[in-house]
Amino acid sequence: MSTAQQKPGRKLLHTRRIVCDGYEREDGLYDIEARMQDISADDTRLPYRDLEAGGDIHDMHMCMTVDRQLVIHEVSARIAASPTPFCPEINTAYAALAGEKIGPGFTQRVKSLFAGAQGCTHLTELLGPMATTAYQTMFSIQRATIGPMPTPKGSGPMERPRSIDSCYALREDGPPAARIWPLERRQLIASE
């Protein structure tokens, strides 16, 4: 690395760590677990407690149980560390997600249910990575049963897969889209 590219000296001040895991349960449901930690690099004085360097300002856990259709069956939250002793009082509010489906509109629904004083900013933030972890967990089941990116069977017209245009790589005119939604099968639909 040249001198012009070297970064100046720096000091770690804060670490935010988010880990999400997806588990298959024996009863056919799936648990999506998340843990979020805010870790202070220095001794920190909080309004209700003092924290030594390396201590957790936040240590929050959530578990969301979903089925294969991504319908939420249960959500539990636990705040192990927080800036105030009052934060854990909101834990049970997240059970209100039971019956909701992860999919289009989920983020907006979460924001409406847990806006402002109706929720915890950090627990609510965890629901985004948990939702994508739920999708990835279902994709891991799919990869195990039908492979990573199967080529569609048959030769007739084919509906547009939901994943098309969901990101840059899956843009309609890109190579992965042509693999999962062959051009000749799109033309058959257009000509009908």
Among the listed residues 122, 117, 123, 74, the one whose alpha carbon sits nearest the alpha carbon of residue 95: 74
- Answer yes or no: is pLDDT of 188 > 60: no
Tens digits of per-residue pLDDT, 105-149?
999 999 999 999 999 999 999 999 999 999 999 988 887 777 666
Whole-number percent of the chain with pLDDT over 90: 71
Residue ranges of the domains in the chain? 12-146, 153-192
Confidence category of residue 189, pLDDT binned at 50, 70, 90: low
pLDDT value at residue 187? 65
What pLDDT does residue 87 have? 96
The DSSP line for 53-85 is: TT-EEEEEEEEEEE-TT-BEEEEEEEEEE-SST
d(CA 108, CA 121): 14
Predicted confidence band of residue 154 (pLDDT cuts 50, 70, 90): confident
Query: Are 184 and 191 within 8 A, CB to CB?
Result: no
